[in-house]
Chain A
Amino acid sequence: MWIFLVTEVLFFGGMFLTYTINRHEYFTAFGIGSNTLDIRLGTINTGVLILSSLTMAMAVWSAQVGKKQLVTGFLIATLALGTVFLGIKVVEYKQKFDHHLVPGRSFDVWYRVDHPAAADDPKDIATEREELHKATLTDPDIQSHAQLYFSLYFAMTGLHALHMIVGAGLLLWLIKESLRGRFTPQYNTPVENIGLYWHFVDIVWIYLFPLLYLIDRHR
């Protein structure tokens, strides 16, 4: 399992590398892109994922000490928390579609300030408009460079979400097996290994969260 995780480190490493180079090159556009993300949802999601790592670790512990019902309980909790994470991610993706921030023909960084929703604070919109004006002065082609940020945002969070979906599938299988009482102190390698995978996916998010959400918040 660890050898597989090494390949995963380098797989995600390539994306982080692409991100770093482009963040360096298009510093302003990436800051603008990052500030459009919902920091409240992002922070909640980080907490949810860390909690799911705790329940996964507790499932491993329950298997090691032979508490069969606890194994099932903690696995179900982990699956539930993973699903909550994906659900919040869907809400965030929907916001990006609504704000025309998905790379493609209708992409427009100005859309949100030009079409504010009723719930938006006019002050925030004014601040954002001012920031966009300033950003355009330093980077005239901000539309295409902000698209680059969002391409990376969707690629990186999408790949992470795909790993979560695979993890959820593996958890379903673990839950099925644990309901049959398969996992004992003598035989718990599947719980242990899928646990390693789940924690790895958590680590990827631990790096994604500050790099995508937090890079330019100090206004």
Chain B
Amino acid sequence: MSEHSEHIVSPGIYVGIFLALIGGTALTVWAAFQNFGPFNIVFALGIATMKATLVVLYFMHARYSPKRTQLVIVCAIFWLAIMLALTLSDYQTRQPRQTRLFPPAVLYRT
């Protein structure tokens, strides 16, 4: 929570971050119409992550927050990473997916 010895971020920085976020939005829309093959999703999520980082660091003042608050933020990202990584690795190592896309016809008949 905010403590009152807090650092006050100046309006100039806020406007600068806002312009960077708008620029990032324009960039991601432009990139979406180009075909980078397997890198399409990398670019889309990379730009989104950069934008989110700017929001957290400046709009949410994480850069100037006490160490305790920063620890909470890192924990959130870490837990999210555990959830995504473990679930996706589970799905990746399951049976061939064809069985689910095209179920055996006999299932429909019964």
A-side residues, CB < 8 A to B, are 1-3, 5-6, 9-10, 13-14, 16-17, 20-21, 24-26, 39, 43, 46-47, 50-51, 53-54, 56-58, 61, 64-65, 139-141, 185-186, 188-189, 192-193, 195-196, 199-200, 202-203, 206-207, 209-211, 213-215, 217-218
Q: List 6 A-B contacts (CB under 8 A).
A: A9-B76, A57-B9, A58-B11, A213-B32, A214-B28, A215-B41
Chain B nearest CB, measured from A126 CB (Å): 19
6 nearest A-B residue pairs (beta carbon): A214-B32, A210-B44, A218-B35, A6-B76, A54-B18, A217-B32
Chain A residues with Cβ below 8 Å from B101 are: 25-26, 139, 141
A interface SS class: helix
Given A53-B59, A203-B55, A206-B48, verify A13-B35 contact (CB < 8 Å): no
Chain B residues with Cβ below 8 Å from A218 are: 32-35, 40
Let me know if B11 and A6 touch, CB within 8 A: no
B-side residues, CB < 8 A to A, are 1-2, 4, 6, 8-11, 14-15, 17-18, 21-22, 25, 28-29, 32-35, 40-41, 44-45, 47-48, 51-52, 55-56, 58-60, 69, 72-73, 75-77, 79-80, 83-84, 87-88, 91, 97, 100-102
Chain B nearest CB, measured from A69 CB (Å): 15
Chain B residues with Cβ below 8 Å from A215 are: 32, 40-41, 44
Let me know if A188 and B2 touch, CB within 8 A: yes
Q: Which B-chain residue is minimally distant from A21 (CB atoms)?
A: B91
Let me know if A50 and B80 touch, CB within 8 A: no
Let me know if B48 and A21 touch, CB within 8 A: no
What separation, in Å, do the CA atoms of A163 and B17 have in the docked complex? 23
